Amino acid sequence: MDTATVPLPSGVFTIGKTFGFEAGHRLAALPPDHKCSRQHGHSYQVEVVLTGPLLEGPGFVTDFGALAPFKEFLDTELDHRNLHEILPVEPTSEHLAQFLAGWFTENLQPTISGRLVAVLVRETESSWARFDVGEGQ
C-alpha cells in the first residue's frame, strides 16, 4: 500500500496527560456518621485533556513537557496536604477538578498552544469526577 495516498481527514486533535499526588481531606458538610466526613486520604490521579485544530511543529497539540508547571503546582501545593485546608470550597473530586481547571486556564493556558477541554480527577480506581471547561475559557 502506498501510504502517501491515504487521505488525512479534517478534524480536531485531542491529547491527555495524567499526573498523580497524595492528599487527605474530609467533607465537613456531610453528617458525622458519613465515612467521608472523617479525615481520610487518596492517591489522586489527575488527567488534563487538551485539544487543538492545528498542530504545532513537529506535530503536537501541546508538547507534554510544556505541562511540567502543572505537575510542579500539584507537587508543591497539593501533594501530602489536607485539601480542606487549601481549596476555597468543599474538597470533593468535582470541586477539585474545577479548581485545577481554573488554575490551569489562569496560569498555563496562556503559554501553550492547546486548549484545555477537561480535567478528570480520580480518587480511587473506580471513582472519578470530570470538569468540562466552557468554550470561552
Indicate which residues carry an active-site annotation: 36, 80, 123
Helix H or strand E encompassing 14:
strand 13-25
Q: Name the CA radius of gyration of the chain, rounded.
A: 18
Handedness of CA 94, 97, 101, 102 (dihedral sign): positive
- Give CA–CA dist 104/87, Å, rounded: 15
- Give CA–CA dist 96/108, Å, rounded: 17
